[in-house]
Structure 1
Amino acid sequence: MSSTQASSVLRLGILGGANIARQFTRDVRPSERVRVVAVASRNEENAKAFAEANGIETSFGSYDALLASPDIDAVYIPLPNSLHAEWAIKAADHGKHILCEKPLALDRDEAARMFEAADRNGVMLLEAFPYYFQPQTAAMMSLIGEGAIGDVRAIQACFGFTVGNPGANIRMKPELGGGALLDAGSYPLSLIRLVMGSAPQRVNAVATWADSAVDISLMATLIYADGRRAQVSCSMDAANHRYATIIGTQGTIDTEYLNHTSAQTAGDQYGYLPSQMRVRRGIPNSVPFELVASDAGSGFFFAAESFARMVETRDAAAIEYYAQVSLDNAATLAAIIESARSAKPVAL
């Protein structure tokens, strides 16, 4: 295990220097609970350049070297999807807590091995969906919990964008876990799991395939044992869109469930925008929607702070809850892509 955290500040190391790691480092910097103290790359020169450009005090020329450091309590893993399991397990074996980018794993078995390694080594593993930890998401779950829309019967959720530089983009490479479902679809799927509270019984999906053999767009229907339904849509060949409608017996909730939010409608220094959410408390369409206001900020900041609290308080119940969510997400993602490839429904 790493040495005791100084003043309850979680000392975090980053594996890899992708663009998302730059944004994470920048957005987490104001935190009093988390401090990014090191970064590792596949060579020392790249690691040093990243550290200097992003105000990080220590750099390592290999991931293994960072994991061996006793001055690091936890790691953030923003690596390609295909590398999440390998380096999360290695981090756990070095006694490091792990905050891992979504999707956590390529399938349920891989996710299970990651959680087994964390449990075996007494460390905490959390899948990093930034919007999960937004105040807006907490407000959404409170509305559902208090019965503002009655019993949830269905959800429609989507996320998509146009992939840049498709010839070299890792999202287009099947060997790196690319494809619209894993990259974009994991967001609306995770929202569906969050609201529904369980994995579906079976799924039925259809996809359009890119020349590289990854799914460039995909839609799926999720069917639950109690008759509830959900629909998920994702794409990497469309204008940016991110939206969900949660349909209850007594009302509806519309939400953009953005990762990063701002109170400003324009001019935010990082380009963040308000994330709109509204609720209709009633059955007829004559009932007006109410806008729901929430605190704004970076989802990276909120996620890192939540992770640090879980580590500091050894909140096993929270980690166990999120672990089951991640296992269900991994199983559902695998079933959806299997259904899309086979053109048949797939049971979980």
Structure 2
Amino acid sequence: MSSTQASSVLRLGILGGANIARQFTRDVRPSERVRVVAVASRSDDNAKAFAEANGIATWFGSYDALLASPDIDAVYIPLPNSLHAEWAIKAADHGKHILCEKPLALDRDEAARMFDAADRNGVMLLEAFPYYFQPQTTAMMTLIGEGAIGDVRAIQASFGFTVGNPGANIRMKPELGGGALLDAGSYPLSLVRLVMGCAPQRVEAIATWADSAVDISLMTTLIYADGRRAQVSCSMDAANHRYATIIGTQGTIDTEYLNHTSAQHAGDEYGYLPSQLRVRRGIPNSVPFELIESDTGSGFLFAAERFAHMVATRDAAAIEYYAQVSLDNAATLAAVIESARSERPVTL
């Protein structure tokens, strides 16, 4: 552990200059636990331009050069989905901790190789779903753990939007891991995994395919060994929507599970909005829903600071928990897309 890590300030380098990297850098800037100190791109000019535009002190003209720097403790990977495994493994082999954008991997084998590399090199790897680390998600899981809605029997979850500039957007390119499932569907599927506590036994999916051969929309049913069910929908050809209903034997939870939240209903500096979380503690529909209030803020900031804490404290139990979640997510995503392509149920 470097002296910087020991002082609880994690020096973070970013691989790539995508728009999400700009937002991440901006939102993490107020942190006293994490400092973005460097960025790398595939050319000197692009890296320098990103660094200057985003107040980053150091830039590198290649990803390998950033990984070789002794002044960086960890990396954030916002690269296209198809590149996550390659660069996470290289980062681990350079002794860097890794905060990797979702979806972590294209299938379970790829995810397993990433975690094996992290274990082999004594570093920590975390999948960066921003909403995971929102206080609202903690409140939701506390309600479920306390039995506020009894035993969870079913979940319905969705996320979708209209993809911009489809002719050039990486979300429409199969060779870069595009498609509605990996980009949007990974969110509701990950929420289902958090709540259900395990991967499903079987999945059944149907998709609509774009001309580029990626799924432009998809719906799937997840069947669990104990009889529980979940339904997930995702799309890149619809109005923005993000919602989940968790159905228990003694009540119901509704949530928007947003990545970034605000206490303001309008006028937030970055356009963030309140994220609804409400619970009905009872069986009849005459029982009113109770609105649950939580602290708000950027999910990027919450995730980065949680990651920094895990690294500083060597919280192996937390990393192990999220690793199993990510492995289950990767296996489920692969099974769902296989089911959609084959038009038949797939067993995990």
Q: Same-fold call, TM > 0.5?
A: yes
Instruction: Provide, for residues 291-312 of structure 1, a one-character-per-residue CA deviation record: whole Å limited to 9, x for no partner.
Output: 0100000000000000000000
CA 1:2–1:209 in structure 2 vs 1: closer, same or farther (change >3 Å)?
A: farther
Q: Distance in 1 between matches of 2:133 and 2:105?
A: 20
Q: Where do 5+ consecutive residues of structure 2 fail to align?
A: none
SS at match of 2:66: helix
Q: Distance in 1 between matches of 2:5 and 2:157?
A: 40
Runs of 4+ with >2 A deviation: 1-7
CA 1:182–1:30 in structure 2 vs 1: closer, same or farther (change >3 Å)?
A: same
Q: Distance in 1 between matches of 2:6 and 2:56?
A: 17
How far residue 6 of structure 1 moved from its aligned partner, in angstroms, is 6.2
Instruction: Provide, for residues 183-221 of structure 1, a one-character-per-residue CA deviation record: whole Å limited to 9, x for no partner.
Output: 000000000000000000000000000000000000000
Q: Distance in 2 between matches of 1:31 and 1:48?
A: 23
The answer to whether the 8 Å contact 1:2/1:70 transfers is no
Q: Distance in 1 between matches of 2:283 and 2:208?
A: 36
The answer to whether the 8 Å contact 2:4/2:11 transfers is no
CA 1:2–1:16 in structure 2 vs 1: closer, same or farther (change >3 Å)?
A: farther
The answer to whether the 8 Å contact 1:159/1:243 transfers is yes
Q: What is the RMSD of the two structures over their aligned residues, measured on CA atoms?
A: 0.8
The answer to whether the 8 Å contact 2:24/2:300 transfers is yes
SS at match of 1:52: helix
How far residue 5 of structure 1 moved from its aligned partner, in angstroms, is 2.7
The answer to whether the 8 Å contact 1:39/1:47 transfers is yes
Q: Distance in 1 between matches of 2:99 and 2:38?
A: 15
SS at match of 1:266: coil
How far residue 4 of structure 1 moved from its aligned partner, in angstroms, is 4.8
Instruction: Provide, for residues 171-193 of structure 1, a one-character-per-residue CA deviation record: whole Å limited to 9, x for no partner.
Output: 00000000000000000000000
The answer to whether the 8 Å contact 2:209/2:216 transfers is yes
The answer to whether the 8 Å contact 1:3/1:73 transfers is no
SS at match of 2:4: coil
How far residue 2 of structure 1 moved from its aligned partner, in angstroms, is 5.9
Give the TM-score taking structure 2 as reference length.
Answer: 0.99
SS at match of 1:219: strand
SS at match of 2:246: strand
Aligned residues: 348
CA 1:307–1:124 in structure 2 vs 1: closer, same or farther (change >3 Å)?
A: same
Q: Where do 5+ consecutive residues of structure 1 fail to align?
A: none
Q: Distance in 1 between matches of 2:143 and 2:320?
A: 24
How far residue 7 of structure 1 moved from its aligned partner, in angstroms, is 2.4
Instruction: Provide, for residues 271-299 of structure 1, a one-character-per-residue CA deviation record: whole Å limited to 9, x for no partner.
Output: 00000111000000000000010000000
Instruction: Provide, for residues 226-262 of structure 1, a one-character-per-residue CA deviation record: whole Å limited to 9, x for no partner.
Output: 0000000000000000000000000000000000000
How far residue 3 of structure 1 moved from its aligned partner, in angstroms, is 6.3
Identical residues among aligned pairs (%): 92
How far residue 104 of structure 1 moved from its aligned partner, in angstroms, is 0.1
The answer to whether the 8 Å contact 1:149/1:250 transfers is yes
